[in-house]
Structure 1
Amino acid sequence: MDNQRKVVLYVATSLDGYIATKEESLEWLFKIESEGDAGYSQFYETVDTILMGRRTYDWIMAMEKGKFPYENKECYVFSNTLNGKTENVEFVNEEVVSFTTKLKSEAGKDIWIVGGGELLHLFLLNKLVDEYVITIAPTLIGKGIPLFKEADYELELELIDVKRFNQFAQIHFVTK
């Protein structure tokens, strides 16, 4: 029986596939009426490790005015320029595939890839994402930061669940 940890992409997107506007705004997302937290709290309990890129980390810290939102989780930030640790994160300069493979083999809960686009792109190219939980907002924003960058890959997924949270539709896929 395989007890290896999974890497899970848990993200919200506009109907036309954008995770933020060109200005990195999520205002369009917060205008939509949801049901509770759209399953976020339940998902959050299934992970103990969080991965993100440096730009995502900087954006989160700016939006949260310096208060780190993922306290009590092991958090790694991939960066080419920062090293070391803070109270809440460890900056990683290692190669993504070997670092993630090592993490997946360690004991623990699942691993959440929070973002961003460049890091997710590397994960997709190297087939490191095991599950995709994508919440679709009933909004078209026309242009912005796409959830998936154009690339030369093909991934086969299996739909395992669909949920509705008021105006949001959440789809859950696993890698075949």
Structure 2
Amino acid sequence: MKNQRKLVLFIATSLDGYIATKDDSLDWLFKVDGEGDNGYSKFYETVDTILLGRRTYDWILDFEKGDFPYKNKDCYVFSRTANQDNSNVKFINGDIVHFTNELKNKKGKSIWIVGGGELVHAFLKEKLVDELIITVASVIIGKGIPLFKEDDYELELTLKSINRFNQFAELHYEVK
């Protein structure tokens, strides 16, 4: 369908492909010299819907000291356990393909997959992602939570653009 909303992965990774350490730390990311907000504000204006995994949602609440940063967007948290919706988010534990296709067919701006690794993997494997904007940090952390999990799937991509934000390289791909 031509008028479908795009589902976009916008995420940072270490050069060796990790989005966080095994204990969910992003300290390594905040040590890298960027430029302004590394394109975040410009991207944020292009989305009106945000998808998060439960661990990422919990991490954000902890990191932001309970002040949810996406209050002006429709936010959905994917969780395997039952949770009570609140003023900021709705919890989803159903079929991601059906739910995502319904979202894509609604009018609006793009849809952002914030993370984390399990959610990203599920969306990529189901071929639901339309674009990937991956910001690579100039750091190698050796181990952690991988951006791309090993599995039996393949995606063909087209490189749309490359941007530099000091010590970060932003790679923007479109899924063929």
Q: Same fold (TM over 0.5)?
A: yes
Q: Counterpart of 1:123?
A: 123
Indicate the SS of the match to 2:28.
helix
Amino acid in structure 2 at the alignment position of 1:94: G
Asked whether the 8 Å contact 1:50–1:75 carries over to 2, the reply is yes
Amino acid in structure 1 at the alignment position of 2:172: H
Q: Counterpart of 2:68?
A: 68
Deviation at 1:95, TM superposition (A): 0.7
RMSD of the TM alignment (CA)?
1.0
Could you tell me the TM-score, scaled by structure 2's length? 0.97
Q: Counterpart of 1:86?
A: 86
Asked whether the 8 Å contact 1:83–1:93 carries over to 2, the reply is no
Amino acid in structure 2 at the alignment position of 1:171: L
Q: Deviations over 1:123-142 (max 9, x none)?
A: 01110000000000000000
Q: Counterpart of 2:110?
A: 110
Q: How many angstroms apart in 1 are the aligned matches of 2:118 and 2:147?
A: 10
Q: Deviations over 1:31-90 (max 9, x none)?
A: 111110010000000000000111111111111111101111000001121334201000
Asked whether the 8 Å contact 2:19–2:117 carries over to 1, the reply is no
Matches within 5 A, 1:50-65: 50-65=50-65
Q: How many angstroms apart in 2 are the aligned matches of 1:28 and 1:83?
A: 31
Range moving further from structure 2, 39-48 or 86-95: 86-95
Q: How high is the sequence identity, in percent, across the aligned residues?
A: 67
Q: How many angstroms apart in 2 are the aligned matches of 1:111 and 1:66?
A: 23
Could you tell me the TM-score, scaled by structure 1's length? 0.97
Deviation at 1:2, TM superposition (A): 1.5
Matches within 5 A, 1:1-150: 2-150=2-150
Asked whether the 8 Å contact 2:9–2:133 carries over to 1, the reply is yes
Q: How many angstroms apart in 2 are the aligned matches of 1:6 and 1:84?
A: 28
Amino acid in structure 2 at the alignment position of 1:129: V
Matches within 5 A, 1:158-169: 158-169=158-169
Q: How many angstroms apart in 1 are the aligned matches of 2:128 and 2:160?
A: 19
Deviation at 1:9, TM superposition (A): 0.2
Q: How many angstroms apart in 2 are the aligned matches of 1:158 and 1:151?
A: 21
